Each structure stands twice: as structure tokens, then as C-alpha cells.
Amino acid sequence: MILVAGGSGRLGTLVVRRLARDGHDVRVLTRDPARAQHLSDVAEVVVGDVRDPSTLPGALHGVTTVVSAVHGFDGPGGVTPASVDRDGNARLIDAAAAAGADVVLVSIVGAAADSPMELFRAKYAAEQHLRASTAPWTIVRATAFVELWADILAKPMVFGRGDNPINFVSVHDVAAVVARAAVDTGLRGQTLDVGGPNNLTFTQLVAELQSLRGDTRTVRHIPRAMLRVMSPLSRKAATALAMDTTDLRFDPTASPNAVVDLPLTDARTALEASVR
């Protein structure tokens, strides 16, 4: 049995369906079963919260591998990167170790203790907790999901100057790597980097989206100065500012941890499949 925490999300849904399609028994851990209703035909749905350790042992009964695709950047219930990505993952890892299960942790390319982005720091802390645990582990680090940013940029908007290159990856490519890591025990003890072939600026990404959508609206620019003023009170503004000023380029073909023989979807193709 494979437990997918965060299985009702964008990435988790794809991972669950891939694993179920390949004949694996899958269980989805979710705070709200209604959010996982779309997976009830292929997986068992259990209620639990990585922020509440008392809900985890029962969910892990009979589980051999735990996939953590949880994230606390934004969402209902006042979640935060600290409460979910750092502390929640630590609790899930401890519960998995106690149950004798392997752990596949979804993290971020560039996760580091000194990152300017709170989410990156929280993911790094989770990575370190996993490495120090007794659970056999695989870490999958991914760049920014291009499909997620297509949704965020439903209105044509550029954060900051919009000229900072950022690596974007298709969530479908990430799901393929995570699903493989869940079942391939030969990948234990490894950190796998997953990125796309494209480093695009926000300006370029918005132009791609407008082209695909036939959107002729004027692009709105949010100046760095405004983002700096908003950053102390807004996690989104702080992240947007960091993404406009931090080196977020990535070359998956040059990374020693990159996964070979798996899809490498360019941003345009991924957007064509997701933009409606």
C-alpha cells in the first residue's frame, strides 16, 4: 500500500492516478475528504492532517511507502510553510519511520537553509529531517510548475521587472518521477532533480499565455517597490519579489541528479495542454 499525503492536489492527483493505473494499491491522506472525492474510484481516502500527529498512525496502517506531496504555501485552514512543509513533513516522516515505511519527499530545486523564500527554507528543513530519520528515503526536487503559474496568471500580470529567468517544469513530468520513486527501491538514498527545458522570464511566460488565450488585454506590472512594501504582510508578495531577484535557472540535462529516460516537456507544450 502506498500512502500519498497531499494526494488531492495538482501533483498528488496525477501521482495517485499513475500508481493506480499501474496496479498499485493507493491510499490518499487528506484533511477534507470532499477534496479527494475525484480519486475515490481509484484510491482509498482517509482523513488526516500532517499537523496533527495523532491522525497519522491509523492512516499508515499497512503502508509500505509514503509519498509526501503536501504544501502549505497557500490554502484553507491557515496553513503555512512552517506548519506544513517543515513541521508537518517532520511529523509524517516520524510516523512513517515508526511504521517501517519508505518515504518519498517532494521538495524544490534550490531548497536551502538561507533561501530568501520561506517555502524553500521549510522544504530544506524537511529534507534534513528525512535524511536524519531511520526511514529509507528518496527526495524529488522540482522547479516551478508551469501549469500552476498559468492559473496564477489568469490575468496578464508581471511581478517586478519580469526579466529574471525562471525554470518551469510540467507537473506531469514531475508526477512521472515521483511515481517511479514510490515503487523503485533502487532510488532510495538519492535526491532527484526534475526541471523543464525552458528558463522563462515572467514577461515571456505572460506573453506565451496571452498568445495561447488570444488575450489582448494590457499587461499589468507590479513594481518591485510595491512588492517590497507588501512583503512583510504578504507571503505571495515576498515570494514574487524573490522570484524576480533570485537566480532560479536550471538545466536538467546538466544536473548530476537529473532523471533520464523520462518526459522533458517544454513550457509551450505543457501550456497548450492546460490552458483553456
Q: How confident is the model at residue 122 (pLDDT cuts 50, 70, 90)?
A: very high
Phi then psi dihedrals of residue 159, to 5 deg: -90, 125
Q: Mean pLDDT over residues 84-98, rounded?
A: 97
pLDDT of residue 234: 87
Q: Which domains does the chain have, with CATH numbers?
A: 2-143+171-195+251-263 (3.40.50.720)
Q: Mean pLDDT over residues 268-272, rounded?
A: 92
The angle at the Cα of 108, spanning 112 to 178, to the nearest 5 degrees, equals 140
Predicted TM-score (pTM) of this structure: 0.94
Element (H, E) at 222: strand 220-222
Is the pLDDT confidence value at 75 over 80?
no
Residues 6+ apart with CB under 8 A from 226: none
> 252-271: buried (b, 16+ CB within 10 Å) or exposed (e) per residue?
beeeeebbeeeebbebeebb
Is the pLDDT confidence value at 203 over 90?
yes
Is the pLDDT confidence value at 111 over 70?
yes
CA-CA distances (angstroms) from residue 111 to 29, 58, 183, 186, 238? Answer: 25, 31, 24, 24, 16
Q: How confident is the model at residue 108 (pLDDT cuts 50, 70, 90)?
A: very high
CA-CA distances (angstroms) from residue 28 to 20, 71, 101? Answer: 11, 15, 15
Is the pLDDT confidence value at 24 over 90?
yes
Is the pLDDT confidence value at 261 over 90?
no
Q: What whole-number distance in Å separates Cα of residue 139 and Cα of residue 107? A: 7
Is the pLDDT confidence value at 39 over 80?
yes
pLDDT digits (tens, 9 = 90+) for 127-185: 999 999 999 999 999 999 999 999 999 999 999 999 999 999 999 999 999 999 999 99
Residues 6+ apart with CB under 8 A from 67: 2, 3, 4, 5, 7, 12, 15, 103, 104, 106, 178, 181, 182
Q: What whole-number distance in Å separates Cα of residue 65 and Cα of residue 68? A: 10
pLDDT of residue 77: 63
pLDDT of residue 263: 79
Phi-psi region of 110 (alpha: psi -120 to 50; beta: other; left: phi over 0): left
Query: Are the CB atoms for 170 and 237 separated by under 8 Å?
Result: no
Q: How far, in whole angstroms, is CA 259 from its chain's centroid?
A: 17
Output the average pLDDT for the chain.
Answer: 93
